[in-house]
Structure 1
């Protein structure tokens, strides 16, 4: 593929006092993917400091103008956000200032994609505890992006190998879960995952819907949600042309999916999905933000403050996120021709 035909992926480090700058630097040093061009949207001095930690020479072309940056034929360029981040580099110690800077960098990169300067975004780990812009605090970065991109249904879908995970209920207390398991919410989740998989190029994806209770309710002995809410939603999805199965017991649904039986899984709640996926492939899961106007991905791990600045962070999940973003962006470019 000619260099000018490759999608441009804007890369954001995430929280600059975590491992984000280091893993982005390692992706560059050890060879960025050939499938795309990278535009690092970050303070140049932050990236330079990460190169210093790794004992590598920083010789990337740096621009303060997006038009000049995207015209460059270099495989990796830096768009210097010049936010003064270098003075805040107390690695391993997040605070309100770095919390706001991580949000602003993500917003900047996302708007570059909205405006057509880049074809997608891959961002490093975000620290949710300090995430804010001005006086407005956010629970997660998806809240920032829903607001900025005007995409209220934006949601992260986890990808591990060839399996895609959609979590119906995310961050709520366990005692409230059962009341949120409704036919309407389940059906909406099935449709959302099916639409996402079709957009990723899967034809007639096979979707499993997990049960809520142990043993899928055991015929009503261990709960009634399977019979009253989950099964009816699956039947309606089938009637509407979706290849859906279930309710599948939560303790085996990902085993079966990873063995190739299902393309995607609708899980009822956060830990049901993430415990299984992380046990199967911790450090390999890529989060794709679906139902938004641009391609955005991120690795599934956190900022790892305990090892920040030590030069030992594994960059492979960040590389995976970039490669997935490049693939999705290339598919969109081809579809638009």
Structure 2
């Protein structure tokens, strides 16, 4: 069977994106499962190879996907020529870097929608830089949802230890409670059910975390569990979904790691990401579910503090490409 073609966006060119792209696409673990094309700037990738001290790799700069040459020792770059090293300084937030990073996502989305690539794996962007460039999105997820006109979507994180899906994403903690409602919790439960059923060929066991300590303790520590979370769970059960909750947030991740649940529905970003990263940092992958295209991403940021030093770990990008390749075959 032919290997899927994965478009790997280079991320913010001032961060560790070029370095981890160079390392990941040179890895046999990636070459074994996918044909990859970096969507970025050849100068950035060349710099990534240099600081990584990777030799013997040829950069094939292309303008169209069908110009790619998939063979050992070659990295294909769909070169947008938009990351001028004279205007972008490594490790610094800039409008130029934010604009370049956004354009990589934009191009990758277009290619995926047109069927020219089978999936997208994204290196990290810097949200401040993207905002400086004039794009008012909270992150990759919202950009992709907008460009694919997707209304029902969610962030799912997968690892060897734990799978998590988020009801809310990039919000100040003080705003989480008022953004939660029965509708968006039920939507997330349904997305988890549909996604895992498709991937695994069976109904998943879903655990839904409470919001408050001890899942509210019958309303003593908060009413969200009684008013919105439990009604959403009960509605999901009526649809034939195998779901339990609200479960105390301080217990549910332990139970999932022990095998009681296939996936946990977390109410907010850090509730789900702290246990996930504690168990599987650099080995977890962000998947945007609900899109008409496959998109995976690393589980970390742009690493401005280590950019340009050759220290960046490519493992999360390697995992993201592997997951993208696998998921692309299930669509």
Q: Same fold (TM over 0.5)?
A: yes
* Match in the other structure for 1:253: 252
Instruction: Tell me the alpha carbon deviations over residues 291-323 of structure 1, each in whole angstroms, 9 at most, x when there is no partner.
Output: 111111101100111110111111101100010
* Match in the other structure for 1:218: 217
Residue 326 of structure 2 corresponds to residue 311 of structure 1: no
Instruction: Tell me the alpha carbon deviations over residues 134-169 of structure 1, each in whole angstroms, 9 at most, x when there is no partner.
Output: 644322222222222222333321112263211112
Q: Do the aligned partners of 1:190 and 1:266 also contact (CA within 8 Å) in 2? A: yes
Give 1:248 shift.
0.8
Instruction: Tell me the alpha carbon deviations over residues 255-291 of structure 1, each in whole angstroms, 9 at most, x when there is no partner.
Output: 1111111111111122211122122222222000111
Q: Do the aligned partners of 2:93 and 2:129 also contact (CA within 8 Å) in 1? A: yes
Residue 12 of structure 2 corresponds to residue 8 of structure 1: no
Give 1:85 shift.
3.1
> What secondary structure does 1:215 align onto?
helix
Instruction: Tell me the alpha carbon deviations over residues 109-144 of structure 1, each in whole angstroms, 9 at most, x when there is no partner.
Output: 121111111101111011011114964432222222
Distance 2:123 2:302 in 1: 8
Distance 1:116 1:155 in 2: 22
Give the structure-2-normalised TM-score: 0.92
* Match in the other structure for 2:25: 28
> What secondary structure does 1:77 align onto?
strand
* Match in the other structure for 2:14: 17
* Match in the other structure for 2:105: 106
Instruction: Tell me the alpha carbon deviations over residues 146-197 of structure 1, each in whole angstroms, 9 at most, x when there is no partner.
Output: 2222223333211122632111122333333333333223212211221222
Distance 2:173 2:63 in 1: 48
* Match in the other structure for 1:77: 76
Give 1:251 shift.
0.8
Return closer, same or farther for 1:304/1:63 CA change in 2, 3 Å cut-off. Answer: closer
- Give runs of ≥4 in structure 1 deviating > 4 Å: none
Give 1:77 shift.
2.1
User: Matches of residues 294-309 of structure 1 in structure 2 within 5 Å?
Assistant: 294-309=293-308
Return closer, same or farther for 1:184/1:88 CA change in 2, 3 Å cut-off. Answer: same
Cα RMSD of the aligned pairs, angstroms, is 1.9
Q: Do the aligned partners of 1:164 and 1:264 also contact (CA within 8 Å) in 2? A: yes
Distance 1:91 1:133 in 2: 17
Distance 2:152 2:257 in 1: 27
Q: Do the aligned partners of 2:62 and 2:76 also contact (CA within 8 Å) in 1? A: no
> What secondary structure does 2:58 align onto?
coil
Return closer, same or farther for 1:283/1:183 CA change in 2, 3 Å cut-off. Answer: same
Q: Structure 1 stretches of 5 or more lacking a match?
A: 333-337
* Match in the other structure for 1:159: 158
Distance 1:315 1:136 in 2: 27
* Match in the other structure for 1:53: 51
Q: Do the aligned partners of 1:69 and 1:78 also contact (CA within 8 Å) in 2? A: no
User: Matches of residues 273-284 of structure 1 in structure 2 within 5 Å?
Assistant: 273-284=272-283
Distance 1:116 1:148 in 2: 15
Instruction: Tell me the alpha carbon deviations over residues 37-67 of structure 1, each in whole angstroms, 9 at most, x when there is no partner.
Output: 1111121121111111122236335243314
